[in-house]
Structure 1
């Protein structure tokens, strides 16, 4: 009797032809990391399913945008010609680039299973080796003045860290932390690549270069010289005094020349005078009587 009841229960809950399986996925590596231009496998494995031919889809999620990678049994989008399906569900990508860094979602639809759909998300990280960074080093700095050296690189991923070298000797992040650099006063920021001297010393002269490095590799800039020179205070003071003396002599010479009249327009034997001018716009016309009077005056003077 008990066996009959058990059989009836099984037939009630799981009648003939009822879906009993449940599709499930797993991945051997949900966070693959690969260097640029290498190949990578995005693992997606079906562990349980009663469906012989499930539908497989791969989607790429990047910058909040979703696009098909594998759909309708073929590779789609920018992976066309660079990817293929391995086995039933895994995806292999050749010649990966930095733009391939994204989330990839493997979706499986098994129509003959009780649980028809399952999915798994894989995060792909493509590392990019840094290129030679751009370094800026001041050519000459006077003793006691501040100086800033910069190092920047914009291609590497993850973001590179920076280190500075002087005469092939690595510099610490803080000169006070190393007795070897007790005569220096600088701070190095490995995140930004800046090397800042609060006040340079003669010992800070040398050849400087920077190295940018991340997990994919490293690159360095060319060596650049920085000279630290002494200020010649006595020479500067002497030069200023010479300039002031020359200016005083020039001023005295100009004043003397003015007093002696060298800058006055001399006309008619050195005497400067102006003929009485006529008011503008006025023409004087002499009468006959004025002319005869002027002639008689001139004759009287002659006698």
Structure 2
């Protein structure tokens, strides 16, 4: 009896099998995918011909038993099997990101204990088609030296990110590029690349201009000089030393706003 058992185990090990030509498949959301396998079994066991009684694909178990995809409500109306004598193709339409899983094929024969599952199965990854990413800056507006600034690479479905400054890659691989204390040397052209299993897309360039305090002080001094010089010229030309005049001076910021101020010109 032990000899017969060992003989059966050897047959099972050699002749029972499932082969998947592709172990990993990437597909886009909304598309159709086909997962193919071939299978084998002993032609005869226990003085009886082996007949395949059931074939199916599954991803999950219920009560320790694999659940046929055709009985899974998540795949209702989207699954088809095309099976031959020693091969079977699973076809899934209108793919969803939730369809990402490991798919296994199982066949059941008329032999006692004659059930076999092909493991490991085929890993399916479903992702959305990448759109062109965009770079946003927070906070918006002028960027002052020493402030905190965050650049965000906005992408609909990316697994990997790469940041570039002046066409040179940066070590940061996250969707956000954070400057805790930005410096004037950080000024320049930035862009990001988003990538997943289906491709790679690159954003437009975003120019970052970091203003430093010393530069602003120079601009303010120049503005005051222009105002004083202009006021003196008006006084000499019009002889209105004791009359109020309206002087428009630039409020120093990147929005180029102007404010009106009344001042009395001295002789």
Give the TM-score normalised by the residue count of structure 1.
0.52
Q: 1:170 aligns with which of 146, 167, 170?
A: 167
Counterpart of 2:92 in structure 1 is 93
Inter-CA distance 90–49: structure 2 relative to 1 (3 Å threshold): farther
Deviations 1:112-152 (A, max 9, x none): x354111123322224333344532254223x424533224
Judge conservation of contact 1:139–1:227 (CA < 8 Å) in 2: no
Q: 2:142 aligns with which of 131, 140, 143?
A: 140
Counterpart of 2:232 in structure 1 is none
5+ long unaligned stretches in structure 1: 1-8, 15-19, 174-187, 241-303
Judge conservation of contact 1:103–1:122 (CA < 8 Å) in 2: yes
5+ long unaligned stretches in structure 2: 44-49, 225-267
Inter-CA distance 32–100: structure 2 relative to 1 (3 Å threshold): same
Q: 1:27 aligns with which of 19, 44, 54?
A: 19
Tell me the matched-pair count. Answer: 200
RMSD: 4.0
Deviations 1:170-208 (A, max 9, x none): 2332xxxxxxxxxxxxxx51134315374422x644443
Counterpart of 1:156 in structure 2 is 157
Judge conservation of contact 2:135–2:152 (CA < 8 Å) in 1: yes
Structure number having the greater strand percentage: 2
Find the aligned partners of 2:174 and 2:21 in 1 and give their Cα distance: 30
* Structure 1 segment 1-303 matched on structure 2, within 5 A: 22=12, 24-29=16-21, 31-36=23-28, 37-50=30-43, 51-61=50-60, 67-70=67-70, 76-88=72-84, 89-111=88-110, 113-120=111-118, 121-133=121-133, 135-137=135-137, 138-142=140-144, 144-153=145-154, 155-156=156-157, 159-165=159-165, 169-173=166-170, 188-196=171-179, 198-201=181-184, 204-230=186-212, 231-233=215-217
Inter-CA distance 191–29: structure 2 relative to 1 (3 Å threshold): farther
Judge conservation of contact 1:163–1:170 (CA < 8 Å) in 2: no
Displacement of 1:33 in angstroms is 1.6
Judge conservation of contact 2:133–2:192 (CA < 8 Å) in 1: yes
CA radius of gyration, larger in: 1
Q: What SS is found at the alignment partner of 1:44?
A: strand
